[in-house]
């Protein structure tokens, strides 16, 4: 299949320039560590389980590590494009993959819109910059569009600089807490079951899993990796360990700085100002100002990384015929999915313009609602992928029971729990009691089911189109060595 660019046929192939370190930067930047610590930890402490937040992060890290074991094993054999959509296709079949595609589009496009609104909010309402919030959001989207239009290698380099700065800032705060409190900064009470399950643990676990959104994106860049069978598994493990350990340790030290018995009350009172105030107390006003600036750069880093991920999903789905086929076009010089990138940019501009025209608040409406939908969509996609990994290896009678059955099932159980918590606490995540807002998660589920039913219908009405679902995936030599079983010609069972 070819894509037309400027009247010439260009093979639909992206440039393979990414190694493990660059993929890690793309993935970790999407999770926005500084924003998570500055925005999510205070909410989780104040509304959730107080001093038990580090314990919830540790549980979320272990759950996602279990999921990553099966995912990484599958990544060594499924090395084409499509991210989790491709994994679901190979494990659970084409109808499930169509549902996963809807969840991916909701998850990543919602995240980009939320981050764009966040940039405008923090610069104007929080930062005091003159002018309307939407103007700054539009400026961030414009820079995102320029970088997204070009090769992903450029984005990886920009993200490497921004991510190093934000992690360096949090590391400085961690060291300052240690210097001030010494060994007393580490309190074992944060990991005691009675503490972790105190207050509203469901809310805390919801925020913990939500803080990892973006970590799973390594598979999206397989098609642009030089050695995807090695780079994707390594980047996945590195991302979940870096993000998980950093979140756990930083939130643990924050509890130590506040005092375990005071953490919940202080976090509830200070909310988004908690980390800024802590930085000012420990490192001074200049460090506080720098922290505030790096919140903006962290938001932009996550915006760019999420835009790249969303664009690549659109690119793959366009190539497979699930969305407009023109989205599969590759730029002849940059070798980037430029058409999908432009479409994603256009969607984000429309969402921001709609919220701005309606006079809605950029944080209480745009950021919270879109980030809530994003978290739900991506966690549901992770859950489907965990099931796909189990089915994929069971069909191949893989002898590695722990790696391909026990740990993926444990991860799946944790993700199912996270999904239930997200649905039960969506009003808290979205900061809204409005019925229209709180029905959005169920509308997303209905859209996913509708996509699966549409794929089933295509099986009989348009078999050629049906056969293209999941068609972008390619098998590595290790997978090719596995004898095909009853199903598709490649043994993928993408029925």
* CATH at residue 63: 1.20.1740.10
Residue 224 is assigned to a structural domain of this protein: yes
End-to-end CA distance of the chain: 22
- Give the residue-averaged pLDDT of 126-136: 89
pLDDT at 372: 82
**Burial of 6 per CB tally in 10 Å (0-12, 13-18, 19+):** exposed
Residue 355 is assigned to a structural domain of this protein: yes
pLDDT at 15: 64
Residue 478 is assigned to a structural domain of this protein: no
* Other Cβ atoms closer than 10 A to 119: 28
Q: Which has the closest alpha carbon to 175: 187, 165, 160, 185?
A: 185
Q: Which has the closest alpha carbon to 362: 147, 113, 152, 175?
A: 113
- Residue 346 tokens read as 């256009």
Q: How far apart (Å, rounded) are the C-alpha atoms in residues 375 and 481?
A: 37
- Give the residue-averaged pLDDT of 223-250: 84
- Sign of the Cα pseudo-torsion (11, 76, 21, 167, in order): positive
Instruction: Answer yes or no: are the C-beta atoms of 380 and 216 closer than 8 Å.
Output: no
* Other Cβ atoms closer than 10 A to 376: 28
Identify the weakest region by mean pLDDT among 54-58, 200-204, 213-217, 264-268: 213-217
Q: Which has the closest alpha carbon to 363: 203, 142, 131, 124?
A: 124
| Residue-range definition of the domain harbouring residue 185 | 14-471
DSSP annotation of 1 reads -
Residue 479 is assigned to a structural domain of this protein: no
- Residue 391 tokens read as 């089915």
Map residue 314 onto helix, strand or coil: helix
Residue 464 is assigned to a structural domain of this protein: yes
Q: Are strands 2-5 and 8-11 parallel, antiparallel or unpaired?
A: antiparallel
Q: In DSSP terms, which residues pair with 78 in a beta bridge?
A: 475
pLDDT tens-digit readout, 460-492: 998 888 888 876 544 444 443 343 333 343 444
- Give the residue-averaged pLDDT of 269-280: 85
Residue 490 is assigned to a structural domain of this protein: no
Residue 481 is assigned to a structural domain of this protein: no
Q: In DSSP terms, which residues pair with 2 in a beta bridge?
A: 11
Map residue 351 onto helix, strand or coil: helix
pLDDT of residue 251 exceeding 50? yes
Q: How far apart (Å, rounded) are the C-alpha atoms in residues 416 and 281?
A: 40
Q: Is pLDDT larger for residue 227 or for residue 350?
A: 350
DSSP annotation of 51 reads G
Question: What's the number of domains the chain is made of?
Answer: 1
pLDDT of residue 224 exceeding 80? no
Element (H, E) at 208: helix 201-210
Residue 278 is assigned to a structural domain of this protein: yes
- Taking the C-alpha atoms of 279, 27, 403 and 493 in order, what is their torsion angle to the nearest 10 degrees? 150
Q: How far apart (Å, rounded) are the C-alpha atoms in residues 365 and 337?
A: 31
Q: pTM score, two decimals?
A: 0.82
Burial 308-326 (b: 16+ CB within 10 A, else e): bbbbbbbbbbbbbbbbebe
Tell me the pLDDT of the chain averaged across its residues.
83
């Amino acid at each position: 299949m070819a894509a037309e660019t400027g009247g010439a046929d260009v093979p639909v192939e992206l440039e393979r320039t990414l190694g493990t370190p660059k993929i890690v930067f793309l993935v970790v930047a999407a999770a926005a560590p500084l924003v998570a610590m500055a925005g999510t930890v205070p909410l989780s402490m104040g509304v959730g389980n107080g001093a038990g937040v580090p314990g919830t992060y540790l549980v979320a890290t272990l759950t996602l590590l279990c999921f990553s074991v099966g995912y990484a094993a599958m990544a060594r054999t499924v090395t084409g494009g499509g991210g989790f959509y491709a994994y679901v296709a190979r494990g659970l079949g084409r109808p499930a993959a169509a549902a996963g595609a809807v969840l991916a589009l909701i998850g990543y496009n919602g995240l980009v819109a939320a981050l764009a609104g966040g940039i405008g909010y923090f610069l104007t309402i929080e930062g005091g910059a003159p002018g309307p919030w939407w103007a700054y959001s539009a400026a961030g989207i414009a820079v995102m569009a320029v970088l997204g239009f070009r090769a992903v290698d450029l984005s990886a380099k920009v993200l490497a600089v921004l991510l190093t700065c934000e992690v360096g800032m949090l590391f400085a705060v961690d060291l300052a807490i240690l210097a001030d409190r010494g060994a007393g900064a580490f309190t074992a009470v944060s990991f005691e079951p009675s503490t972790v399950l105190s207050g509203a643990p469901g809310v805390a676990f919801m925020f913990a899993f939500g803080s990892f959104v973006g970590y799973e994106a390594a598979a999206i860049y397989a098609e642009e990796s030089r050695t995807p069978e090695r780079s994707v598994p390594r980047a996945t493990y590195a991302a979940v360990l870096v993000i998980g350990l950093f979140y756990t340790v930083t939130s643990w030290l924050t509890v130590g700085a506040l005092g375990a018995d005071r953490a919940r009350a202080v976090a509830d009172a200070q909310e988004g100002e908690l980390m800024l105030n802590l930085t000012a107390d420990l490192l001074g006003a200049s460090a506080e100002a720098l922290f505030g600036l790096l919140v903006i750069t962290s938001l932009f880093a996550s915006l760019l990384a999420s835009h790249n991920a969303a664009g690549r999903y659109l690119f793959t789905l366009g190539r497979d015929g699930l969305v407009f086929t023109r989205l599969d076009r590759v730029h002849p010089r940059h070798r980037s999915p430029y058409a999908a990138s432009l479409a994603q940019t256009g969607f984000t501009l429309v969402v921001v313009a709609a919220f701005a025209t309606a006079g809605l608040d950029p944080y209480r409406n745009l950021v919270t609602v879109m980030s809530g939908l994003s978290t739900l969509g991506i966690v549901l996609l992770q859950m489907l992928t965990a099931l796909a990994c189990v089915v994929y290896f069971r069909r191949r009678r893989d002898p590695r029971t722990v790696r391909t059955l026990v740990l993926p099932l444990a991860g799946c159980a944790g993700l199912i729990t996270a999904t239930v918590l997200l649905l039960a606490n969506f009003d808290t995540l979205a900061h809204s009691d409005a019925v229209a807002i709180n029905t959005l998660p169920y509308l997303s589920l209905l859209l996913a089911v509708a996509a699966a039913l549409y794929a089933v219908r295509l099986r009989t009405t348009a078999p050629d189109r049906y056969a293209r679902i999941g068609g972008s995936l390619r098998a590595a030599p290790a997978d090719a060595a596995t004898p095909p079983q009853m199903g598709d010609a490649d043994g993928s069972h993408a029925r």
